[in-house]
Amino acid sequence: MAEIVKMPKLSDTMEEGVVAEWHKKVGDKVKTGDLLADIETDKATMEFESFQDGVLLYIGVQKGNAAPVDSILAILGKEGENIDSLLKGGNGGASAKTEAAPKIESKPEPAAAKSETAPSKQSEPAIAVAEKAPALVASNGSSADGRIKASPLAKKLASEKGIDLGQVAGSGDAGRIVMRDIENFKPATAGSFIAGTAAGVESFREEAVSQMRKTIAKRLSESKFTAPHFYLTMEIDMDEAIRQRESMNAALAPVKVSFNDLVIKSAAAALRKHPKVNSSWLGDKVRFNDHIHIGVAVAVDEGLLVPVVRHADTKTLTTINEEVKAYADKARSKKLQPSDWEGNTFTISNLGMFGIEEFTAIINTPDACIMAIGAIVEKPVVKKGQIVVGNTMKVTLSCDHRVVDGAVGSAFLQTFKKYMENPVLIIAG
């Protein structure tokens, strides 16, 4: 009996998915565990495996198109099986541009094929989504017939950068184009384009908004306009942190401890002292978390991802260092899993490595606070009545005033400052 395969919910915030690649075509036999498709969510591109055996009778979402969670992704069943009743009664309908099972010799054409010209009323919402969603890969003669081999991430990145895959040399297996080929691609300069530009021709480029960027925009807008933010800024003397970090790295070589590791560990230790900051607003109640899971914002091409260092207060600086590096690598290659980014109780955003001295960050809900870390700056400071050269770092705590008031936020920052100005306390404690 034919069964509907629905668009899966692959993350807690996923509302729709984009099919980045189909690994099976209509008429192919499918076994449980076979890779059906690559689905782009708001956080990553993930492989989706079949949970049943059968023949792929129907594809409900074409490559490059978006569809809501629980809409018809595909239909699996017996060869030649009539699936018309499933299409009419399926949740979310199916696109008029979807691919139906091919005609089989000596048997009547399956009724599902009629959906190409006469979709049911239930299919209309999905049709609108599919028709409006732009393809991830720019169309060209080579890629349309499948002669160009490229990974889903390479295709997506090429689309975002406006790169014709036909001009890219692949460095993967059998000449397959991979993400690094797109990142390193340098197009040849066209003379006609230069002439046109010199003549003052106006031009622009538009990019489709990715699932990740849509979700980031939605969540940040909800946070900014729902949670009443206020901000507390404190300047920290970093001279001792610099000295102690140098000593640690000399002793731990070749392992290195970064200033960001010190920030995460110090914040975790301060949260243990001030549990009200390690909380979240839930509408009719406030949750005070006993565990300390720190989200660490990682910049990727499409925005920020926030993988979580779990139980950060119990981990060593070297363990934190290893975890953050591994998360950063996975984030940039879009290999983070839902378990990597869920469950944060506090968030840190560090732009110091980009030379930003001070900024404010939008709260990463459901957290009550997020801390923005600026660059370490060498400047004149007053110590013991004398003007000397010192190193300082500014941090700004964004607080949800429904949960954390000024006194609580200030006390947390004072404790954080104490640990950062003498890191041996977080090691000993």
Q: Is the N-terminal amide bond of 119 cis, ω within 30° of 0? A: no
Is 175 within 8 Å of 165 (Cβ atoms)? Answer: no
Q: How many CB atoms lie within 10 A of CB 380?
A: 8
The distance in angstroms from the start CA to the end CA of the chain is 62
Q: Which two tokens stand for residue 314?
A: 């119990």
Whether 274 is catalytic: no
Round to whole Å and give the CA distance between 19 and 37.
7
Catalytic residue chosen out of the listed positions 229, 274, 291, 401: 401
- Look up residue 316 and give its two tokens: 């060593």
What is the distance between the alpha carbons of residues 124 and 85, in angstroms, rounded to a whole number? 16
What distance in Å separates the CA atoms of residue 75 and residue 56, rounded to the nearest whole number? 6
Which one-letter amino acid corresponds to residue 354? Answer: F
Beta bridge partners of 18: 40, 66
- Give the gyration radius of the chain's Cα atoms: 26
Neighbours of 57 (CB within 10 A): 27
Active-site positions?
401
